[in-house]
Each structure stands twice: as structure tokens, then as C-alpha cells.
Structure 1
Amino acid sequence: MKTARILPRTLAGTVTPPPSKSQAHRLLIAAALSGGISTLSHVAFSQDIAATRDCLTAMGASFVEQGPGVVEIHGLGWSIPQAGPYPIFDCGESGSTLRFLIPLALTVHGGGAFTGRGRLMERPQTPYFRLFEEKGIFYRLEGGILTVKGQLTPGVYALPGDVSSQFITGLLYALPLLEGDSDIVLTSPLESGDYVTMTLRALERFGVAVEARENGWHVPGGQRYRACDGAVEGDWSNAGFWYAAQSLGCPVDIAGLDPDSAQGDKRIAGFARAMEEAGDLTLDVRQCPDLVPPLAAMAALRAGRKTSIVNAGRLRIKESDRLATVTEVLTALGAEIKEGPDDLVIAGKEKLPGGVTVSGHNDHRIAMMAAIAAIRCEQPVCITGADCVKKSYPDFWRHYQQLGGQVTLEETV
């Protein structure tokens, strides 16, 4: 484990955020499901993406790295599900890997055993469990291992829309492979809909058709994924921390982002503009909860103005309880922040005292938030568990240093 010691400095220069983790998951899965060979470029194997690669390998696909950021994927094709013991899928700490692949394990292998680390296996899977009970699929969560056995069958799959869209994505990947047609029906309004749009775009690129309906999607069965080459676009989620640096007065240029991306977190650009305006501000993050850590850092240093960040309750079931950890870390740095059940209210200051050691809470976004807030602290800031950024942004500390940040990383027990 490493501790980052940061001396407050203004950052300056050009930075290119890593490839989109959200899109990389989706493209790798679609390529692995094809019957041919796909080549993807601009792929960064952060811990989460490595987990998806390893689980797809356990499923039967293979990956050959052709050079930096370029990987050739040999799809598993669609013959009979492989015989033998059920695969073991180690999802690391990646909620996307776990939820995307549960339906596929049933479709391809008739089941599997899923494991993970950190809080992953504590994160709720209730929408799947309810469907499994309806469909007669066996599941057991015991000792941090989720075992599922059975076969998905064509039909109606009813899901609430106000839980993680990852459940919808998992079904969208699996249902086209069934022999008959299926329907995904939403029983409540959809949140994080942009992530579903990303999934639908990935499916389309790999030759899978899904029809939008008023309250969900119609998924024709009997489809096959076609191999496809492409590149992973830049990540707006992690770019949010450099937008936060800009808002703190740092002349940082952000390169490599697609303004036409389906990533919902591209809302950060509009939020950043709104932060520059005078007066109090309310930001609704229902569709982009991952932006809360950089937004909170920006709000904490929005001098003389109050910022309310609302509809953020789903952050309580992330790598950490992010409403609690954002509050704890920024309060320790000297910010004025009030935590509610699903919101944060932050009174901005010109500077923060700093001079403390805070925990990264084994949460990549919390560690990066603390690093950005340290820019406007009066005293040095130490962040324990700083290597947790490897989950999504392995080069974060290197980029921070390249922009002039004064950070040293020390091994700690």
C-alpha cells in the first residue's frame, strides 16, 4: 500500500485521460461473444478492465496483446456450452464485470461461481435474484461466493429502472443469444440511461439489434455477434478530476475526449461552467453519480457560494459509501459540507487548511478527489492507500506529476 504526500501546487499543461472504462468493458465483452477475431486499440488494462478480460478468458475467449494499448480478441463463438465444471469468475472489485457477466455465464455455461474483493460481493444483486426466482434459476451467495446454475429462457424480464443500469446491460448482452425473443420491461423510470445507450451502441457495432419500446426494449433472439475492430474513446468520468483542477484555477488542457460520446459523465463540462457562475447552485446527479467526488472538490472551493448535489443516494453502494467518504475526507481537509440521505450541501471557501492525513478508503475516486482538493490547501496533504487509483486510472499520479504536482509516493505497511 502506498501513501501519497502532496505539497499544494498549481497544475498546468495538457493531460489525456485514460480510455473509457465503461466503453472498454462493453466492447471487450461484445468482441469476446463474437465468432471471429476483433482488434481493439486504446485499451488500458486497469484493474477493472483486467478483471473483465480474465473473466472472459474463463468463459472461453482469448486475448493477444499486439502492442501498447492494442489487443486482439478471439471470440468464443457459439457452439454448445462447454462441458465440465462451472467456471470461476474473479471479478476483483468491478461491479460492471460482475453484473454484466452473470447472465452470460448462465447463457454460455449454464452457470458459474463469482468471487470478488473489497465490498464487491456485498453490493446488491436483488434485481437478478428476483428474476432468477421467477425463472427457476438456482443462486446462492455464501462466504463471498455467488453461485448461479441454470439456463436463461426467452420471455419477459421486468426490472426497476431506478437501480444500477448494469443489470439491464447484463441482460442486453445475453438475451440476443437465446433462441426466442425477449422483452426487458422497466417497472420504474430509468436512471443512468446513458450507460444503457453505451451498451446499445456497442451491440449495434457488433451486429446485434435491439428495439426500443416505450417502457423498455424488445430483444430478438437467435442473433450472433459479428467481430469488429475499433478504438476505445477517452474517459469522461476520470476527466472530471481535471475539470475540477481547472475550476481551482489550474490552466490544464484536457485532450482525447469525444464531445459526441454517449458517456453520461460528459455532463461534467456543463456542470463546470455552471460552477463558474455567481450564486448558489443545485446539481442533479441522478444520471451521473460518479461525478460527485470531483464536483464536491469543486464545490468545496467555490468561495462564498453554496452548492447542493442531489439525487446521489446510489453512491452509498459503490467501492465505499461515497456520500460518507466524500464528507469525511473533505471535512478533514477543512471544507464545510453537510451529508444528507442522498445529497450533499457544500459551502465553498477560498482555501482549505489541509495539513492532515486522509484515507483513500480503497476507492479510486475518493483518492483522486483528495489529490485535486489538495491543490488549494494551505498545508501538505497525505492520502493513504493512494495506489487504489489503479482500479480505473493507473497513470493518475504520473499525470499529476507531469502537470507540476508535487507528490511523492511512499510504501507503507
Structure 2
Amino acid sequence: MDVTIVPGTLKGAVTPPPSKSQAHRLILAAALSGGVSTLSNVDFSQDIEATLGCMAALGASIQRPEPGVVEIHGLGNSIVQAGPAPILDCGESGSTLRFLIPVALLVGGEAHFTGWGRLMERPLTPYEDLFQEKGITWKRENGVLSVDGGRGYDALALEPGEYVLPGNVSSQFFTGMLYALPLLDGPSVLRSSTPLESRGYVDMTLDALRTFGVTAEETEPGVFAIPGNQHYQPRNLAVETDWSNAAFWYAANFLGAQVDIRNLNLDSVQGDRQIGTLYWKLARPGDVDIDLSQCPDLAPPLAAMAAVRKGTTHFVNAGRLRMKESDRLETIARTLNALGAKAQVGEDTLTLEGTDHLAGGTVDGCNDHRIAMMAAVAAIACKQPVTVLGAECVKKSYPHFWWDYTALGGEVHGLVSG
């Protein structure tokens, strides 16, 4: 689906979708519990559908009694099972893949992971190095990842002990281990060999674990002591509104819209709640540096703001953006430059020299939900219409984005329902 946006102001109230990051974590904890959990305010985006599908493949019962609600009958704190190795289709969700690799090893046999888009190209080396050291077979062939603990069905593939991961690749590896290690029959230690980036996402994981009755204590920065023989307890919860997607409406306001962003938890553990602080940092004229190591998903909306502010914005520690749904460093710069911005890319940096307005034009959504939404927001500051190719990619995290955009007064041509 290709859409054309006529520049104009946006005005009104909007509630961003529920947090995809939190929903992944709550679904996983509920599926590992020994009972029935009900999660409400769930947005069934493509990534969330992937996680639900994988947990069902592992044996959890997933029911949807009403819109926005999912009822999960858990696996009973253990998923050791006999039978064929499960095939886990992770779609294009990096969270699903990285969270579930350690969990799937609790099967005790073999698990196969598939995906589409760039998913199976995204870095998995931290797990590969760690698990091969532990004697776990790791094979990637024809777009399929197979892991095999080689222990048969009477013993777990993971054993209690010390696990060391680099903290500068993705916090998702830590989340996966933090979910699996508490179910082992003895204590474990999870240690970061480098400063831990995207720390806010690890905090979200620890919060979800606590909510479901599981503890992991950070004894020193980047070192987690995890008791064994723990049990996930079922819970009934509502998913919070998502700060990562709310950031695009912050950017819209920066560019001249008047959007009332509702239902945000100001005390949330979501790391991207810092968008408010960064908004005001960019609102002041002059040159500014922004470190993206703890908030990589904020890069697109922040870049849209930086494109039209008074001053030069230098984003640093942004290298991990290259391994998102697109090479997001390159696609941010290419998209904004196509609209008339002045952006330059370094190995792990992005620099934008602010300009008074953007021209407009045609851009490719690059099968990247955050690039398409960035282009839509940037259209507010354009003189001419903006055409976004492949605009349906917003379904990955914000399925009703275009409908919210039009409800706020945006003029969008080419929308197709569904």
C-alpha cells in the first residue's frame, strides 16, 4: 500500500497503542506460569502475533475471549516435553526470536526458529558463542536456526551456572536468559562483559519478572544473581500505553501539530519515556549531542525533530540501528534527505543540520514501521505532499497508525482497510 500525505496540521487527542515491549514480556511470563493469566489492552500487531504463535507452538493455550484481551493457560513453569521439535515462526520480531531461544532450550530436545524479512540476518552471535561454549548445538541453514541441547527429554539443555553476554549488542539477549534461568534447578549468574546498553528494556524485564513472582537481583552493574527453582505465578494485567510509539506524536507536536497524547504512565519503567526530556533538549536552539545507546527506538522521531530545529544535532552510539528491520541509520538519513533534510551518516553516528522546512517527495518505507511513521510525521513540515511506499509496514507495531493520523485531521490518500 502506497499513501500520499498532504501537508497540514494535526489536532486532537490520541491514545498510542499498548506497549509492544511490555506485551512481549507479559505474554512470555504468563505462558511460563502454572495457571491462567488474562492480559487486557493487547494490540495484536504482527510482532505480538508472532510471540503468541510461538508460545502456542511450545504448548501454551491461547484464547481471545474479547477484542484486546488474551487468556493464556501457562505451561506450568516447565516446558520439558516429548515429541517432535517445535518449529517457532518469529515473523519479523527480533524480540520474539531472542527472548525465546533460551526458553526453547528448556524443551530439552531441539527447536527450530524461522522468520522473514531481515530477521534471520540480525545478530545472534552472543547466544551462539555462549551456547556452543555450553555444549549446545547451534546451526543456521537456509534461513532456519536449530538449537539442540542434546540431552534427550529427561534433562534440561540449560544448566545452572554463570552466563556471560556482551551488553553492547542487544539487551534482548539478557531478557531471554532472565526468563529461562529462574526455572533451572539451581542458582545462576548472568553477567555483562561490557557496559549494558538499552538498560531501560532490561528494567522492563525485571519488572515483568517481579510482577509474576520471579526474582533476579542485580548485585552490581550488569551482574544478575538468579535463584533457581522459581515459579511464575499467573496474573491478570493490563498492558501499558507505549512510549516508543507515543514519541512520534511528540515529534508531530514539535513540527507544529497540537496532539494531546493520552493514557501514558508517567511512572512507567519503559525507557523511551525519556522522549519528553529529549523533546525539550531539542527545542532549545544550538548544537546538541544525543546518545542513543539507551534509546535506539527513539532515533526516527528524534531525527524528524532534528531535521527542522535551529541547530545541528549529532546522534552518537547509534550503530545498533543498522540491524533493525532496515539499516535504520541509512534509511533515516536517506528518507529525510529525500524530503529535503540535511543528514549525514557515520559508522555509528547520525548528524542533522536543521532547516526551516522540508520540501516533500516520495520515500520508501523500507519495510520498517518506524521509518514509515517518521516520514508521516515529517510531512507536517513539508511544502509539498509526501508519498510513502509500502506504508502498510506500520502493522508491525502500530496497526491503526494511519487511521489515528487521519482522525487527527491528516489528509492521507491511498489508504486501504485491513
Deviation at 1:80, TM superposition (A): 6.4
Structure 2 residue 372 is matched with structure 1 residue 390: no
Distance between the aligned counterparts of 1:410 and 1:191, measured in 2?
A: 38
Rate the CA distance shift 1:40–1:278 in 2: closer, same or farther, 3 A.
Answer: same
CA contact (8 A) 1:161 1:191 kept: yes
Distance between the aligned counterparts of 1:31 and 1:77, measured in 2?
A: 10
User: Which residue does 1:76 correspond to in 2?
Assistant: 75
Structure 2 residue 337 is matched with structure 1 residue 337: no
For 1:328, which of 308, 328, 334 is the aligned residue?
334
Structure 2 residue 366 is matched with structure 1 residue 361: yes
Q: Which AA in structure 2 matches 1:348?
A: G
Structure 2 residue 211 is matched with structure 1 residue 213: no
The two structures have a TM-score, normalised by structure 2, of 0.96
User: Which residue does 2:201 correspond to in 1?
Assistant: 195
CA contact (8 A) 2:58 2:79 kept: no
| Per-residue Cα deviation, 1:2-41 (whole angstroms, up to 9, x for no partner) | 0011100110001100000000000000000001001111
Matches within 5 A, 1:389-408: 389-408=394-413
Distance between the aligned counterparts of 2:315 and 2:336, measured in 1?
A: 14
Deviation at 1:111, TM superposition (A): 2.6
User: Which residue does 2:294 correspond to in 1?
Assistant: 287
Q: Which AA in structure 2 matches 1:105?
A: A
Distance between the aligned counterparts of 1:44 and 1:5, measured in 2?
A: 26
Query: Any gaps of 5 or more consecutive residues in structure 1?
Result: none
Instruction: Say which is worse superposed, 80-89 or 238-247, in terms of deviation.
Output: 80-89
The two structures have a TM-score, normalised by structure 1, of 0.97
Q: Show structure 1 runs of 4+ deviating over 3 A.
A: none
Q: Which AA in structure 2 matches 1:276?
A: A
Deviation at 1:410, TM superposition (A): 5.2
Matches within 5 A, 1:236-275: 236-275=243-282
Deviation at 1:82, TM superposition (A): 1.5
| Per-residue Cα deviation, 1:28-55 (whole angstroms, up to 9, x for no partner) | 0000000100111110110000000000
User: Which residue does 1:352 correspond to in 2?
Assistant: 358
Deviation at 1:409, TM superposition (A): 2.4
CA contact (8 A) 1:86 1:109 kept: no
Structure 2 residue 136 is matched with structure 1 residue 137: yes
Rate the CA distance shift 1:258–1:80 in 2: closer, same or farther, 3 A.
Answer: closer
Distance between the aligned counterparts of 1:287 and 1:312, measured in 2?
A: 10
Structure 2 residue 178 is matched with structure 1 residue 172: yes
CA contact (8 A) 2:18 2:241 kept: yes
Secondary structure at the aligned position of 2:103 is classed as helix
Q: Which AA in structure 1 matches 2:388?
A: I
CA contact (8 A) 2:32 2:232 kept: yes
Distance between the aligned counterparts of 1:268 and 1:78, measured in 2?
A: 36
Distance between the aligned counterparts of 1:233 and 1:109, measured in 2?
A: 34
Number of corresponding residues: 408
Deviation at 1:78, TM superposition (A): 3.9
Q: Which AA in structure 1 matches 2:169?
A: V
Structure 2 residue 185 is matched with structure 1 residue 186: no
Distance between the aligned counterparts of 1:145 and 1:168, measured in 2?
A: 22
Q: Which AA in structure 1 matches 2:238?
A: A
CA contact (8 A) 1:4 1:408 kept: yes
Distance between the aligned counterparts of 1:5 and 1:384, measured in 2?
A: 9
Matches within 5 A, 1:78-157: 78=77, 81-150=80-149, 151-157=157-163
Q: Which AA in structure 2 matches 1:131?
A: L
Distance between the aligned counterparts of 1:307 and 1:79, measured in 2?
A: 49
CA contact (8 A) 2:32 2:78 kept: no
Distance between the aligned counterparts of 1:35 and 1:4, measured in 2?
A: 46
| Per-residue Cα deviation, 1:126-156 (whole angstroms, up to 9, x for no partner) | 0101111110001100100000011011111
Distance between the aligned counterparts of 2:230 and 2:413, measured in 1?
A: 52
Q: Which AA in structure 1 matches 2:272?
A: D
Rate the CA distance shift 1:281–1:410 in 2: closer, same or farther, 3 A.
Answer: same
Q: Which AA in structure 1 matches 2:277?
A: G
Secondary structure at the aligned position of 2:289 is classed as strand
CA contact (8 A) 2:77 2:232 kept: no
| Per-residue Cα deviation, 1:295-338 (whole angstroms, up to 9, x for no partner) | 01011011x31111111110000000001000101000000111
Distance between the aligned counterparts of 2:188 and 2:131, measured in 1?
A: 15
Distance between the aligned counterparts of 2:191 and 2:248, measured in 1?
A: 36
Secondary structure at the aligned position of 2:3 is classed as strand
User: Which residue does 1:67 correspond to in 2?
Assistant: 66
Q: Which AA in structure 2 matches 1:87?
A: P
